[in-house]
Amino acid sequence: MMPQSNLVFEKATQIHMVSAEASTLYVEKQAVLVHRVGELMQSAPKLSELIGDSSLEAVFGQHRLHARFMSNVLRFNHYRLMAHIIVWEYRSFHARGFSFEYFLKAMHYWQQAIHENLKPKEADEISQVYQWMIDHHGYFVELAEAEDYILFPVATNNADLEKSILSLMLHGDYHACSAIAEEVVKSPAELAEFYLQVLQPCMVEIGNLWESGAISAAQEHLATAIVHRMTARLYTQQVMSNPSKGKAIITASENELHDVGARFVADMLEMNGWQVAYLGANTPRNDLLHMIRDVQPDLLGLSVVMPFNLVDASLAIADIRKDGELHKTRIMVGGPAFLFAPDLWRQIGADGIAMDGGAAVTLADRWWDERQLNG
């Protein structure tokens, strides 16, 4: 990575924090801002050169995604996270036909829409953030084009096995994947190791391949579906011990559609003696609260993969904290959304963070031992 480009992440930490009033107003006006930026982009000269073969719906989708993301950034004032995800935006949308010039023009349009629709003081605060993005556009382009910049590094512990499984996933060969997995997984302990050392790195690499445009969304979905089928088959083949610890609910946050990591955590906790209710992806906040009241779990695990969904997790945690019946529930969060903001779990009100199933088991067991010790 070019050293000068890498400095942009440190520079991002120097951005002045915006007020709560400004971030709230941005959220309230989010739909209006998205619509206005869309109007401005549609009238942009030589639009086809900016977006390539992409449709206007893809453009509007990018605007909605950006607005959701910036709502989270402004709420938590986490600008290092913002800088990393901007590179992700540049790279992933550029791989799908958007020119880098599109992003520069879009940021100017966001500034214009903000000044047209927000109060002057709040508009000035947020506009300064967008001006920082404009001023550092060149850095983002360099990083998006740098082959040695990897947003989500892959921790490889079993490279040959991982490579074989990944190749078969991308070719849609579920049966071959299962045959290899059943050969190497003979116990719950080996299954946990297979999750952490093979399947998790495979899923990270699949995300990286999609980001770079090397695979399509259909291929990414196929690989993810194979992982779900494999985990279901492998899990039921292992002899599970009877629950000896507390109750846990594991789920992806509201609007979060990526739930493979949450599934790994749920299975590993259950293999370790926890009684687990696994809810999967995109659990509506109110339904989650009802489930927590019914189950009265000792532990709630919330997974957030995309940073656009951090506020949803934060709101769920806030609702739980307000409920007198649920105050004893320990809340664990995890997922790639926290990778570039490791202290964010405190801001959103969680009790701890675990970035993989092994860490989740360690933290959950520590909390359980503390509860047993303290009565």
Which residue intervals of 238-356 are DSSP H helices? Answer: 260-271, 285-295, 310-322, 344-347
Q: Give the model's pLDDT for residue 1.
A: 46
Please tell me the predicted confidence (pLDDT) of residue 239.
Answer: 60
**Which pLDDT tens digit goes with each residue over 259-307?**
999 999 999 999 999 999 999 999 999 999 999 999 999 999 999 999 9
User: What are the backbone angles phi and psi of residue 341, rounded to the nearest 5°?
Assistant: -140, 65
Average pLDDT, the chain: 93
Q: Does the pLDDT at position 200 exceed 70?
A: yes
Cβ–Cβ < 8 Å for 184, 121: no
Higher pLDDT, 47 or 3: 47
What residue spans define the domains of the chain? 3-145, 159-237, 247-374
**pLDDT-derived band of residue 149, with 50, 70 and 90 as boundaries?**
confident
3-145 carries CATH number 1.10.150.130: no
Q: Please, are residues 104 and 134 in contact by the beta-carbon 8 Å criterion?
A: yes
Predicted confidence (pLDDT) at residue 191 exceeds the cutoff of 80: yes
**d(C-alpha 345, C-alpha 331), whole Å:** 10
**Minimum mean pLDDT among 156-160, 191-195, 246-250: which range?**
156-160
How far apart are the C-alpha atoms of 267 and 276, rounded to whole Å? 8
Instruction: Indicate whether this model's pTM tops 0.85.
Output: yes
How confident is the model over 77-115, as pLDDT tens digits?
A: 999 999 999 999 999 999 999 999 999 999 999 999 999
Q: Indicate if the pLDDT at residue 243 is higher than 70.
A: yes
CATH homologous superfamily for 247-374? Answer: Cobalamin-binding domain (3.40.50.280)
pLDDT of 22 above 70: yes
**Cα distances (Å, whole numbers) of residue 227 to 6, 125, 223, 231, 277:** 34, 44, 6, 6, 20
Digit-coded pLDDT (tens) for 352-370: 999 999 999 999 999 999 9
303's tokens: 């997974």
Q: Which residues of 173-200 are buried (b: 16+ CB within 10 A; e: fewer)?
A: ebebbbebbeeebeebeebbbbbbbbbb
Taking residues 66-74, what's their average pLDDT?
A: 95
Query: Is the pLDDT score of 27 beyond 60?
Result: yes
Q: What's domain 159-237's superfamily in CATH?
A: Methionine synthase domain (1.10.1240.10)
Residue 159's pLDDT is 82
At residue 3, the pLDDT reads: 52
CA dist 348 to 53, 289, 302, Å?
A: 39, 17, 11
Rounded to an integer, the average pLDDT of 227-239 is 87
- d(CA 334, CA 371) in angstroms, rounded, equals 22
Q: Give residue 105's identity as a one-letter amino acid code.
A: K
Q: What is the mean pLDDT of residues 25-47?
A: 96
Place of tokens 């952490």: 196
φ, ψ of residue 141 to 5 degrees: the values are -65, -45
The pLDDT confidence band at residue 238, using thresholds 50, 70 and 90, is: confident
